[in-house]
């Protein structure tokens, strides 16, 4: 989960600033964990299409439902979806927080899966 803090830090700082208080000391871990508890992760695979790529939806989860994603995202992705280039978008409630790209190796299991459409 340590890999998520640098991604979430600007968002947590910004949200505390809007609330009129600075993130400091003991409030930082609490604010981060509260934000994660109300966050979702949306996974896309970068599917080559001619001279470009398209983002094919594979799943969306509440972060509290997928501890393996938090502890070892590469294993989570490769075990379920196989090799490929992936992008995960993180949202806190409806607000975009950040995105992160991953590269995994192995059979492209995702090719046999149905695309998940997101609104």
| Length of the chain as a residue count | 119
* Distance between start and end Cα atoms, the chain: 27
For tokens 């968002």, what's the residue? 11
Q: How confident is the model at residue 13 (pLDDT cuts 50, 70, 90)?
A: confident
CA distance 9 to 93: 16
More confident residue, 21 or 51: 51
- The pLDDT-based confidence of 27 (bands split at 50, 70, 90) is confident
Q: Which of 42, 50, 12, 52 is nearest to 29 (CA)?
A: 12
Q: What is the side-by-side order of every strand in the sheet holding 84-92?
A: 52-62, 39-49, 84-92, 95-104
DSSP label of 4: T
| Mean pLDDT across 47-71 | 94
Tell me the average pLDDT across 18-25.
56
- Band of residue 74 on the pLDDT scale cut at 50, 70, 90: very high
DSSP 106: S
| pTM summary value | 0.87
């Amino acid at each position: 989960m340590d890999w998520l803090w640098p991604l979430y830090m600007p968002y947590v700082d910004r949200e505390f600033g809007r609330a009129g208080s600075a993130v400091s000391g003991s409030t930082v871990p609490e604010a981060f964990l509260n934000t994660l508890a109300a966050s979702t992760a949306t996974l896309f695979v970068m599917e080559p299409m001619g001279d470009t790529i398209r983002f094919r939806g594979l799943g969306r989860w509440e972060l509290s439902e997928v501890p393996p994603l938090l502890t070892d995202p590469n294993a989570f992705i490769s075990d379920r979806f196989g090799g490929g280039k992936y992008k995960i978008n993180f949202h806190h409630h409806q607000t975009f927080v950040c995105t992160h790209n991953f590269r995994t190796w192995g059979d492209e299991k995702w090719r046999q899966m149905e695309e998940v459409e997101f609104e």
